[in-house]
Amino acid sequence: MPELEPLFLRACRGEAIERVPVWFMRQAGRSLPEYRKLRGEGSILEAIRSPELAAEITLQPVDRYGVDAAILFSDIVIPLVGIGIDIDVVPGRGPVIAEPFGTSADLRRLRPLEPEEDVPYVLETVRLLTERLGVPLIGFAGAPFTVASYLVEGGPSRDFVRTKALMHGDPPLWRLLLDRLADLAITSLRAQVDCGAGAIQLFDSWAGALSRADYERHVLPATRRVLEGLADLEVPRIHFGVGTGELLDLMAGAGAEVVGVDWRVPLDRARQRVGPEVVLQGNLDPAICLAGFEVAARETRRVLKEGGGRRHVFNLGHGVLPATDPEVLTRIVELVHRVSAESGADGER
Amino acid sequence: MPELEPLFLRACRGEAIERVPVWFMRQAGRSLPEYRKLRGEGSILEAIRSPELAAEITLQPVDRYGVDAAILFSDIVIPLVGIGIDIDVVPGRGPVIAEPFGTSADLRRLRPLEPEEDVPYVLETVRLLTERLGVPLIGFAGAPFTVASYLVEGGPSRDFVRTKALMHGDPPLWRLLLDRLADLAITSLRAQVDCGAGAIQLFDSWAGALSRADYERHVLPATRRVLEGLADLEVPRIHFGVGTGELLDLMAGAGAEVVGVDWRVPLDRARQRVGPEVVLQGNLDPAICLAGFEVAARETRRVLKEGGGRRHVFNLGHGVLPATDPEVLTRIVELVHRVSAESGADGER
């Protein structure tokens, strides 16, 4: 008799589930004392380049929380680092690009990624994890728009002024840039899956800064290219962004099985926008976890109720905040599992 | 025969209009060379405390752009400054509070505002402007949540962790805090109207950081108190926030005649959420103005079309960005006036 697939993967495929699976974006990281101890003051890029270290960091929250999936410890700029773009990841700020992208001459710097040559450490980390993990590993990449925004702005941005100016001022160059970044994402994600990742997440974290018209015209085609370029791998694809309430229907049509939703949109409203088939991931407000477990528990129950118990992967609406008490997350995992099992997660029990 | 009310006020009241009025949030400010010349390196709080200077700054964009309304040059923290809270407004960062709000003992510091004693310069600026302006003056205040977020966080915030922790961790104290801030806003706005302001805008700029459940339970009552506390003045009330797509129906029910919408929600979708009566204000993406006039013109036409030509006040979706070319804004004003007049703004021509 074939072994049942892990809960997380079945949930992502929209199959009947005995309870709602849970993992947390940025579950590995500064909120964990064991992470701070392991990392010390070292550079995050150095840690990512060290497979044993990166694998250990990836495993830490799985061991501690009992979550239903692991997510590779890496960064969305790693494929750019791999092809030789000069990037530093500055603590408390984010990626900083030495020479931002500005003209068609800069396209030359965006050569294709050769994973075994350019980012062998990522593949090695995935291989180590595939041996050691008892739950599926989520590989990931940055979506073309979000990666482009770092490249064009030179770092994190509030208003995305340069990015939008390029998008509107030179649409052919913008399209070429996004296509290159789509290829990078596809190549990186395929390699992660080849080495054992059981699902992938495409982070379009800042897509919510765009108007619907801009997203549909200037971003969606490249995102769709990434997701469709992975269809033959038959691993669940998760598509995530923050502040994307107005884009959810478009995102749901881009090809992923799972769409992430931040805490601004109640899941029952999100369901109306994405239709009955798509699986929703989310959407507890990460800041709520800092208000104590009693409050977090009440909000967790609300999220579970709005999620409807099926076609739902429980998560935060964005990453774990560094000041979060890990004990609260442990108890949330336990609560999600217990409540959703009791109420009959698949709605058929 | 009684003189017709100004276009802007008639539009805010939902009356038939011959063209769509336009003004820009933060139309006075660093994007204008005449502003930079006048302000030099001085502190913004000092400029606000100088009625002749503040009036001149308020007038600059009206003279330059031919907009249909002026907005008082001031800051949402001014009532707090007036009652003695130690606040600095740091260029490029925003308000910084020396001693953040944390416990019930801090309530004492939030005494009632006595406008003639505490902020006489604001009243004097409004009086000067009422004499000099040919268009209505919009007075304004910060909404209780947004002002509370600065007080509790000690400055601008990305995640509003402390604010949400207080909101959930001590709801009675949170309610007392918001009620005090509601009283400050009411008193400040009534005084501005008494001195001649023809409309008011309540800035709940960061309300979009909240889940719908949090907004409805912990914020909406105090906001409604402010707006209802001004009802007898019979001036149009505008209620604005960023990223509030999921809150628009609740905001529309809070008492204002006009609801501001950022660029994320197309105005025709916003209309579905707020119902047929409310006037919508917005919603060109401020970043689009930096992509050149041709692009801005196309987007302006889209916004006008989605706005439907009536119950619409044209504006940006948030404030003018400092790097904006004023010439682009001049041409947008001209375009809004011309296109909306040609197409018959009130839908009856």
Pairing of the two strands B199-203 and A279-284: unpaired
Which entry of A10, A13, A30, A217 is annotated as an active-site residue? A30
Q: How far apart are CA A265 and CA A269, in angstroms?
A: 6
Query: Closest-CA residue in chain A for B295?
Result: A168
Inspect the interface and report whether the beta carbons of A246 and B265 lie closer than 8 Å. Answer: yes
Query: Closest-CA residue in chain B for A299?
Result: B213
Res. B183 pLDDT band, cuts 50 70 90 = very high
Q: How far is CA B341 from CA A268, B5, B22, B238, B309, in A?
A: 41, 18, 13, 23, 9
- pLDDT tens for B224-269 read 999 999 999 999 999 999 999 999 999 999 999 999 999 999 999 9
Res. B349 pLDDT band, cuts 50 70 90 = very low
**Closest-CA distance of chain A to residue B104, Å:** 17
Closest C-alpha among A278, A281, A299 to residue A290: A299
CB contacts, 8 Å: A266 with chain B? 211-213, 246
Active site residue A111: no
Q: How far apart are CA B340 and CA B19, in angstroms?
A: 5
B271, B265 Cβ separation under 8 angstroms = no
Inspect the interface and report whether the beta carbons of A295 and B266 lie closer than 8 Å. Answer: no
Structure tokens at A238: 């998760």
Inspect the interface and report whether the beta carbons of A287 and B161 lie closer than 8 Å. Answer: yes
Inspect the interface and report whether the beta carbons of A264 and B245 lie closer than 8 Å. Answer: yes
Inspect the interface and report whether the beta carbons of B211 and A266 lie closer than 8 Å. Answer: yes
Inspect the interface and report whether the beta carbons of A266 and B213 lie closer than 8 Å. Answer: yes
Which entry of B35, B65, B150, B215 is annotated as an active-site residue? B150
B320-336: average pLDDT: 97
B79-85: average pLDDT: 98
Res B93: pLDDT = 87
Active site residue B150: yes
Inspect the interface and report whether the beta carbons of B169 and A292 lie closer than 8 Å. Answer: yes
**Closest-CA distance of chain B to residue A274, Å:** 15
What domains can you pick out in chain A, each with its CATH number?
A: 7-342 (3.20.20.210)
- pLDDT tens for A186-224 read 999 999 999 999 999 999 999 999 999 999 999 999 999
User: Looking at the DSSP assignment, which residues form a beta bridge with residue A200?
Assistant: A139, A237
Q: How far apart are CA B158 and CA B178, in angstroms?
A: 20
Query: Closest-CA residue in chain B for A293?
Result: B169
Structure tokens at A10: 């079945």
Q: How far apart are CA B168 and CA B183, in angstroms?
A: 22
Closest C-alpha among B82, B86, B61, B84 to residue B71: B61
For A25, phi then psi, to 5°, come to -60, 140
With a pLDDT cut of 70, the percent of chain B lying above it is 98
B63, B188 Cβ separation under 8 angstroms = no
CB contacts, 8 Å: A299 with chain B? 213
B283, B317 Cβ separation under 8 angstroms = yes
State the ipTM, two decimals: 0.93
Average pLDDT, chain B: 95
Res B171: pLDDT = 97
B214-220: average pLDDT: 98
B275-290: average pLDDT: 97
Active site residue B311: no
Which entry of B39, B132, B217, B301 is annotated as an active-site residue? B39
CB contacts, 8 Å: A324 with chain B? none
Numbered residues of chain B with Cβ closer than 8 Å to any chain A Cβ: 159-161, 164-165, 167-169, 208, 210-214, 243, 245-246, 263-266, 269, 285-288, 290-292, 295, 299, 302, 321, 323
CA A160 from chain centre, in angstroms, equals 21
**Closest-CA distance of chain A to residue B295, Å:** 7
CB contacts, 8 Å: A251 with chain B? none
Q: How far apart are CA A286 and CA B344, in angstroms?
A: 47
With a pLDDT cut of 90, the percent of chain B lying above it is 94
Encode B182-220: b = buried (16+ Cβ within 10 Å), e = exposed: bbbbbbbbbbbbebbbbbbbbbbbbbbbbbbbbbeebbb
Which entry of A35, A65, A150, A215 is annotated as an active-site residue? A150
The ranges of chain A with pLDDT < 50 are 347-349
pLDDT exceeds 90 at position B74: yes
Active site residue A302: no
CB contacts, 8 Å: B302 with chain A? 213
Res B346: pLDDT = 56
Mutation test of the interface with chain B: which of A153, A161, A219, A242, choosing the one with the most B Cβ atoms within 10 A? A161
**Between helices B171-194 and B144-153, what is the axis angle to 10°?**
120
**Closest-CA distance of chain B to residue A283, Å:** 10
Residue A169: which of B164, B286, B291 has the nearest Cβ?
B291
CB contacts, 8 Å: A265 with chain B? 212, 246
Res B345: pLDDT = 61
Res B2: pLDDT = 59
pTM score of the predicted model? 0.95
Find the length of chain A: 349
Q: For the purposes of burial, counting CB atoms within 10 Å of the CB of A10, is it exposed (0-12), middle (13-18) or buried (19 or more)?
A: middle
Q: How far is CA B314 from CA A173, A300, A335, B261, B319, in A?
A: 31, 40, 48, 10, 13
Stronger pLDDT, B301 or A40, i.e. the higher one: B301
Res B79: pLDDT = 98
**Closest-CA distance of chain B to residue A75, Å:** 21
Query: Closest-CA residue in chain A for B208?
Result: A264
Which entry of A13, A39, A109, A217 is annotated as an active-site residue? A39
Active site residue A310: no
B295-299: average pLDDT: 97
Amino acid A300 reads T
Res A4: pLDDT = 81
CB contacts, 8 Å: A161 with chain B? 287, 290, 321, 323
Q: Print the SS3 string covering chain B.
A: CCCCCCHHHHHHCCCCCCCCCECCCCCCCCCCHHHHHHHCCCCHHHHHCCHHHHHHHHHHHHHHHCCCCEECCCCCCHHHHHCCCCEEEECCCEEEECCCCCCHHHHHHCCCCCHHHHCHHHHHHHHHHHHHCCCCEEEEEECHHHHHHHHHHCCCCCCCHHHHHHHHHCHHHHHHHHHHHHHHHHHHHHHHHHCCCCEEEEECCCHHHCCHHHHHHHHHHHHHHHHHCCHHHCCCEEEECCCCHHHHHHHHCCCCCEEECCCCCCHHHHHHHHCCCCEEEEEECHHHHHHCHHHHHHHHHHHHHHHCCCCEEEEECCCCCCCCCHHHHHHHHHHHHHHHHHCCCCCCC
Inspect the interface and report whether the beta carbons of A159 and B287 lie closer than 8 Å. Answer: yes
Structure tokens at A75: 């960064």
Residue B243: which of A169, A243, A321 has the nearest Cβ?
A243
**Closest-CA distance of chain B to residue A158, Å:** 10
Res. B41 pLDDT band, cuts 50 70 90 = confident
- pLDDT tens for B117-163 read 999 999 999 999 999 999 999 999 999 999 999 999 999 999 999 99
Q: How far apart are CA B128 and CA B39, in angstroms?
A: 19
User: Looking at the DSSP assignment, which residues form a beta bridge with residue A314?
Assistant: A22, A282
Query: Closest-CA residue in chain A for B157?
Result: A287
Residue A165: which of B169, B266, B290 has the nearest Cβ?
B290
Res B192: pLDDT = 98
**Closest-CA distance of chain B to residue A162, Å:** 8
